[in-house]
Structure 1
Amino acid sequence: MGKAKKTRKFAMVKRVMSSKDAKKNSHQVDTTAKIQTKDSELVKEVPQISSALFFQFNQSLSPPYQVLIDTNFINFSIQKKIDLFRGMMDSLYAKCIPMITDCVMAELEKLGPRYRIALKIARDEQVERIKCSHKGTYADDCLVSRVMQHKCYIVATNDADLKRRIRKIPGVPILSVGSHSYVVERLPDVF
């Protein structure tokens, strides 16, 4: 018969603490660091909230809704075969005024001939054009700045990054393309 190997039990093995161990250093924390973190927590700036917002309800949102449209919203609408104007009216249960900024139009024109159907929909007479006064043609920044200035818009987008940025702004609903229809996020209830 062979000889059985003896293994050490975990409780019997002594652990040597290194100089970089967290438990050892946690007791030696400076009190000045604690005071600095407390001061930085007290100085947080609270953003100015619009007077049109009453608790969670945005009083400046009322029919006919003004909907700011992003490029990918139009592209997803075409992919899912949803009519832009009828889909908005069906999801919001009211008349909608689709609006496109100059930056979104420039972004659609840059995409080339592959997106000519989206460009044709954007140039429709029913879609209202908004002039941009800023430099550059980055549509996401344009939409976010416009919504922060005037909280009377619903933003129609499927861009995850733009949705994340708009969710931080209180009182602004988001319209996105679902599986067979449009989905409204954070539209206040009628009271």
Structure 2
Amino acid sequence: MGKAKSNKKYAVMKRMISLKDGRIKKSDRQKKKKKPKPKGPSQNMSIREIPQTSSAMFFQYNTQLGPPYHILVDTNFINFSIQNKLDIIPSMMNCLYAKCIPYITDCVMAEFEKLGRKYRVALRIAKDPRFQRLPCLHKGTYADDCLVQRVTQHKCYIVATCDQALKRRIRKIPGVPIMFLSQHQYTIERMPDAYGAPKL
């Protein structure tokens, strides 16, 4: 035997008992009135703490950015530079048309040392005397957190990274440009127009 076809019912709503039904008590028949909210400053207000905006920021424009540029370098940025056969400091200068000072934090150096012999060339480049070292006072050696924390405190840095997750985190911080590799050269993102930054 075949199955009997059942027609689909469209826009069917659940049946509700009307307030006039005999099964409902008199006290329940009247709709409950909402209590009016008290007006004025006496009511309980939720207090939100908004982080203080940096004095370097003029709306979305960062006034502390200017030559010579201070660039925080991430581990994968150096690795990708080696793969693309780019000399870091001259390539940075070609990108920004100004003097660049690369900075390396202790966390980034610790990450290179953890990576082992495979990345010994990158470690040798990171130990170059032209790279300035920044000491880390926090616990742990996770470089991404370290860079994000440093950039939120001081708005004078450009972050050089090729890590997508770190880029996403830095884009949420206003006024911090990101340098990355694209088509075998360095490009910069979110740089103010006043300094003649190259357009993407």
Q: TM-score, normalised by structure 2?
A: 0.75
Partner of 1:113: 117
Structure 1: unaligned runs, 5 residues or longer: 18-30, 33-41
Q: Distance in 1 between matches of 2:110 and 2:129?
A: 17
Please tell me the residue identity of whatever aligns with 1:110.
Answer: K
Q: Distance in 1 between matches of 2:48 and 2:170?
A: 21
Partner of 2:69: 65
Structure 2: unaligned runs, 5 residues or longer: 16-33, 36-45, 196-200
Q: Shift in Å at residue 44 of structure 1?
A: 4.6
Q: Distance in 2 between matches of 1:154 and 1:77?
A: 17
Q: Distance in 1 between matches of 2:50 and 2:97?
A: 35
Q: Do the aligned partners of 1:68 and 1:99 also contact (CA within 8 Å) in 2?
A: yes
1:172 pairs with 166, 176, 191, which one? 176
Please tell me the residue identity of whatever aligns with 1:162.
Answer: L
Paired positions, count: 171
The 4+ residue runs of structure 1 with deviation greater than 3 A are 5-11, 13-17, 42-45
* Larger fraction in helix: 1
Q: Shift in Å at residue 8 of structure 1?
A: 3.9
Q: TM-score, normalised by structure 1?
A: 0.78
Larger Cα Rg: Structure 1 or Structure 2? 2
Q: Distance in 1 between matches of 2:186 and 2:97?
A: 12
Please tell me the residue identity of whatever aligns with 1:64.
Answer: P
Percent identity of paired positions between Structure 1 and Structure 2: 62
Structure 1 residue matching 2:102: 3-state secondary structure = strand
Q: Distance in 1 between matches of 2:5 and 2:136?
A: 78
Q: Distance in 1 between matches of 2:5 and 2:154?
A: 75
Structure 2 residue matching 1:187: 3-state secondary structure = coil
- Alignment CA distance shift 1:63-1:14 (3 Å): closer
Q: Distance in 2 between matches of 1:102 and 1:87?
A: 23
Q: Does 1:123 align with 2:119?
A: no
Two-structure CA RMSD over aligned residues (Å): 2.9
Q: Distance in 1 between matches of 2:173 and 2:68?
A: 21
